Amino acid sequence: MTLNFYKYQGTGNDFVIIDNRSLLFDKSNSKNIAKLCDRRFGIGADGLILLENHPEEDFRMVYYNADGNESSMCGNGGRCITAFAKFLGVIDRTTTFEAIDGLHKAEIKNGIVRLQMQDVSHIETFENHLFLDTGSPHHVELVGNLKDFDVKNNGEAIRYGAPYNEAGSNINFVKQTSKNSFAVRTYERGVENETLSCGTGVTAVALAMHKSGKTTSKEVDLQTQGGELKIVFDVSERGDYNNIWLIGPATQVFKGEISW
């Protein structure tokens, strides 16, 4: 069987995306999904995304990590599938779609996608880090020399250590670069390595840095290994974060077919 696919990337976070409105894709075979994401034996990607029909909204996003397992929300993936939906003619400029963590609104214009993230009402503050869930769980930690920091080994140690253990967390290492700007490097669970960018990760970093007083701005610039992203948000009198938008480019890299 031949499988038609598309490859998208958002600030270096890359995805195999498949139009599965016909429901022909075998979602039960996690080994094959992992093989498609393998950079040597498959197409190569940080994850695989299916676009499916939805009874009420524009479409449904189904996301799998590179290990082949269905995962929690992927922010850059949400931006990329928005661009894919526009490419297919499923949407025009705006959309509402369903992901694993609920409904998301998005807008696309000139290759820039604005994705509304879920509200965040709880951020845990510890001595050396913060923890919050922005659709996926995220550990946020400031470090000194981010450029030369060993993200894989340090991220792996934290990801599998207490209190995260088997369930794990994504691990973000952060350096403040100006009043409202931060550099971020992320170790992603499911990929089990550093990725060039993580959408839910930069969202978590922006909120965590505001919560900890590192910035007072409600518009935060994030520099990832793969490019620049922006987070804008509102804060209620109770300190809840809402109207959160992840903003950045999403690009189709190529399309092709592979034996499945």
What contacts 13, CB < 8 A, 6 or more positions away? Answer: 46, 74, 76, 77, 195, 196, 197, 198, 199, 226
DSSP assignment string, the chain: -EEEEEEEEETTEEEEEEE-TT--S-TT-HHHHHHHH-TTTSS--SEEEEEE--SSSSEEEEEEETTS-B-S--HHHHHHHHHHHHHHTS-SSEEEEEETTEEEEEEEETTEEEEEPPPB--EEE-SS-EEEESSSEEEEEE-S--TT--HHHHHHHHHHSTTTTTT--EEEEEEEEETTEEEEEEEETTTTEEES--HHHHHHHHHHHHHTTS---SEEEEEETTEEEEEEEEE-TTS-EEEEEEEEE-EEEEEEEEE-
What's the pLDDT band for 122 if we cut at 50, 70, 90? Answer: very high
Stated pTM of the model: 0.97
Domains of the chain by range and CATH? 2-117+250-259 (3.10.310.10), 123-245 (3.10.310.10)
26-193-158 Cα angle (round to 5): 115
Q: What is the pLDDT of residue 15?
A: 98
- Identify which has the larger pLDDT, 227 or 160: 227
What's the pLDDT band for 16 if we cut at 50, 70, 90? Answer: very high
What contacts 238, CB < 8 A, 6 or more positions away? Answer: 121
Is pLDDT above 90 for 28?
A: yes
Query: Stretch 110-131: mean pLDDT, rounded?
Result: 97
Strand partners, 113: 108, 248
Question: Which of 80, 79, 87 lies closest to 105, judged by CA?
Answer: 79
Question: Which of 186, 232, 227, 224 lies closest to 207, judged by CA?
Answer: 232
Q: Which of 198, 202, 244, 247 is catalytic?
A: 198
Is 74 tagged catalytic?
yes
Cα–chain center distance at 220: 17
Q: What is the pLDDT of residue 146?
A: 98
Is pLDDT above 90 for 1?
A: no
**pLDDT per residue over 174-228, tens digit each?**
999 999 999 999 999 999 999 999 999 999 999 999 999 999 999 999 999 999 9
Is pLDDT above 90 for 171?
A: yes
Q: Which of 74, 113, 123, 250 is catalytic?
A: 74
Query: Do the Cβ atoms of 152 and 90 come closer than 8 Å?
Result: no
Is pLDDT above 90 for 96?
A: yes
Strand partners, 245: 116, 232
Is pLDDT above 90 for 165?
A: no
Query: Stretch 65-73: mean pLDDT, rounded?
Result: 96
Is pLDDT above 90 for 57?
A: yes
d(Cα 131, Cα 123) in Å, to the nearest integer?
A: 6
Both tokens of residue 211? 């919560």
Q: What is the pLDDT of residue 44?
A: 98
Q: What is the pLDDT of residue 173?
A: 98
pLDDT mean across residues, the chain = 97
Is pLDDT above 90 for 167?
A: no
